[in-house]
C-alpha cells in the first residue's frame, strides 16, 4: 500500500499542470479537426500532399533553428541565466533565417523540382514560418519554466484559430496555397502572442553578450550531442512523406497526410503536454537529487492505457472515421491508419519520456539511439517494387522496435541515476 501511495503521489501534483496544458492543446487541436470536413471538401488530395511536404520540411528546419539551446531554458537555477539562453536562441534562429533566405534565392529552381508541387511563394514562406515558430517556442519554454501553463495553452489556441480562418477563406477563393499561407500566419500569430505575454510577465531589457557567451559554452553539449540526432529523428518522423513522394505520387502523400493528422491527435493532446511537464519535473527532481522512478512509471502506465484505447478505436472504426470526416474518396487514409496505428501507439508511450534522458544529460545515448533509428528507416528508400501497404508495414515494424529499445534505455538510466546517487527506490 505504501508503495502504491508513493507511485500515485507524483500524479497529484503532475495532473493539474498536465490538465491545464492539455486543455489548451485539446481546444487548439479541436479547431483544425472541426474544420477538416470543410477543408477536405475544398482542397484536393494533391493540395494536402504539397502541404504535408511543406510541413515536414518545416519540421526539419525548426529542429535546426535554435541548435537545441531551447531545451536549456528550463535548466538554469537563476532566471537571469534562463533569459540569456532565450536571447541566445533568438540570435541563432535569426541567423539561420537569413541563411535559409539566401539558399532559397540561389537554389530556388532546383528546390522547386525536388519539392514537387511547391510554388515559389510556398518556398519563400518556409523560412518565415520557421522563424515565427522558433520565436514562439523559446518564449513558450520560458512560460513553462515560470509555470504559466494557462498562458502557454492560450498561445496554441490563437495559432489554430488564425490558421483555420485564413485556410477557410482562401479555400473559398480557390487558392491552392491556402493551406500553407494559413499555417504560416498561425505561426506568426502565436509567436507574437508568446512574446507579448512574456514581455508583460518580466522585463527583457537586461542583455549581456558576456552572459550569452557564458550560456553558449555552458550548455554546448546540447548542440554537440542532441542537434544531429534530433534532426535525424525529425526526418524519421517525416520520412514517410518523403518516402511515399519518391516511390508513388502526390495524391498518396495527401491521403497519408490525413492519416498522420488523425494518428497524431493523442500525441498532440497527451504526449506533448506530458513531455513538457515531465521535463520540468524531472529536471527539478534531479537538481535536488530526488527519486524520479515513481513519476516515470506513473506516466508510462497512463500512456499505455491511452495507446491501447487508441489502437482499439482505429482498428474497429478506422475507415468509417476518415470517410465521416473527409467524405467519399478518403477511404485509403483509413486503411493506412489501421497499419500505422501500432507504431503511433508505441511512440505515444515512450516518446514523451525521452526528455528524461536529456534531463539526465545522457546526450550520447540519446544520440546513438536516434542515429541507429535513422539508419534503419533510411533503408526503406532502397526498397523498390513493393506496394504502399508493404512499405507502411515495414515502417511500422521499425518504429515499434526502435521505441521499445528507447523505453528500455530510459528505464535503465533512470535506475542507474538512483543507484549512483544512493537514492532509495
| 274: its cell numbers | 506530458
Task: Walk along the chain (425 residues) and give the pLDDT tens digit of each residue.
Answer: 555 555 455 555 555 555 665 666 667 777 887 888 899 989 988 999 999 999 999 999 998 888 888 888 888 888 888 889 999 999 999 999 999 999 999 998 888 887 877 888 989 999 999 999 999 999 988 888 887 777 777 777 888 889 999 999 999 998 989 999 999 999 999 999 889 988 888 888 787 888 899 989 988 888 887 788 778 878 887 888 988 888 888 889 999 999 998 898 787 667 766 776 777 777 777 777 777 788 788 888 888 998 999 999 999 887 888 888 888 888 999 999 999 999 999 998 888 888 788 778 787 888 888 889 889 988 988 888 889 999 999 999 999 999 999 999 988 988 888 777 767 66
Q: Which of 121, 115, 105, 369 is nearest to 226 (CA)?
A: 369
| 27: its cell numbers | 481546444
Q: Taking the alpha carbons of 309, 311, 312, 318 in that order, is the dihedral positive or negative? A: positive
If one counts every other C-beta atom within 10 angstroms of the C-beta of residue 210, the result is: 7
The predicted structure's pLDDT at residue 341: 94
The predicted structure's pLDDT at residue 7: 47
Contact call for residues 264 and 129 (beta carbons, < 8 A): no
**Cα–Cα dist 355/363, whole Å:** 10
| 98: its cell numbers | 537569413
CA-based radius of gyration for the chain: 21
Amino acid at each position: 500500500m505504501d508503495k502504491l501511495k508513493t507511485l500515485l503521489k507524483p500524479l497529484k501534483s503532475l495532473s493539474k499542470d498536465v490538465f491545464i496544458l492539455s486543455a489548451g492543446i485539446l481546444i487548439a487541436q479541436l479547431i483544425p479537426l472541426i474544420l477538416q470536413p470543410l477543408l477536405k471538401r475544398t482542397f484536393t488530395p494533391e493540395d494536402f500532399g504539397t502541404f504535408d511536404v511543406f510541413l515536414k520540411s518545416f519540421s526539419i528546419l525548426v529542429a535546426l533553428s535554435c541548435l537545441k539551446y531551447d531545451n536549456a531554458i528550463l535548466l538554469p537555477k537563476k532566471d537571469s541565466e534562463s533569459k540569456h539562453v532565450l536571447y541566445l536562441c533568438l540570435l541563432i534562429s535569426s541567423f539561420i533565417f537569413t541563411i535559409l533566405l539566401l539558399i532559397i534565392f540561389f537554389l530556388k529552381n532546383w528546390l522547386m523540382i525536388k519539392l514537387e508541387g511547391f510554388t515559389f511563394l510556398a518556398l519563400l514562406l518556409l523560412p518565415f514560418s520557421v522563424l515565427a515558430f522558433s520565436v514562439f517556442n523559446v518564449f513558450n519554454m520560458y512560460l513553462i519554466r515560470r509555470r504559466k501553463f494557462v498562458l502557454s495553452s492560450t498561445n496554441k489556441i490563437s495559432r489554430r484559430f488564425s490558421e483555420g480562418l485564413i485556410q477557410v477563406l482562401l479555400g473559398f477563393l480557390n487558392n491552392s496555397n491556402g493551406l500553407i499561407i494559413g499555417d504560416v500566419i498561425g505561426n506568426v500569430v502565436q509567436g507574437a502572442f508568446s512574446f507579448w505575454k512574456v514581455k508583460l510577465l518580466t522585463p527583457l531589457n537586461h542583455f549581456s553578450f558576456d552572459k550569452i557567451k557564458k550560456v553558449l559554452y555552458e550548455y554546448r553539449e546540447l548542440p554537440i550531442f542532441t542537434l544531429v540526432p534530433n534532426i535525424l529523428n525529425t526526418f524519421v518522423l517525416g520520412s514517410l512523406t518523403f518516402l511515399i513522394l519518391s516511390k508513388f505520387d502526390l495524391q498518396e502523400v495527401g491521403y497519408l497526410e490525413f492519416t498522420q493528422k488523425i494518428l497524431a491527435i493523442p500525441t498532440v493532446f497527451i504526449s506533448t503536454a506530458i513531455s513538457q511537464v515531465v521535463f520540468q519535473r524531472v529536471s527539478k527532481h534531479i537538481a535536488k537529487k530526488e527519486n524520479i522512478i515513481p513519476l516515470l512509471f506513473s506516466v508510462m502506465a497512463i500512456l499505455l492505457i491511452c495507446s491501447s484505447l487508441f489502437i482499439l478505436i482505429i482498428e474497429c472504426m478506422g475507415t468509417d472515421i476518415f470517410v465521416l470526416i473527409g467524405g467519399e474518396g478518403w477511404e485509403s487514409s483509413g486503411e493506412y491508419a489501421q497499419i500505422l496505428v501500432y507504431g503511433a501507439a508505441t511512440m505515444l508511450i515512450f516518446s514523451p519520456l525521452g526528455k528524461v534522458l536529456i534531463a539526465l544529460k545522457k546526450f550520447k545515448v540519446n544520440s546513438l539511439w536516434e542515429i541507429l533509428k535513422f539508419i534503419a528507416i533510411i533503408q526503406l528508400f532502397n526498397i523498390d517494387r513493393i506496394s504502399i501497404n508493404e512499405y507502411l508495414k515495414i515502417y511500422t515494424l521499425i518504429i515499434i522496435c526502435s521505441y521499445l529499445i528507447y523505453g528500455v534505455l530510459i528505464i535503465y538510466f533512470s535506475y542507474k541515476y538512483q543507484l549512483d546517487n544512493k537514492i532509495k527506490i
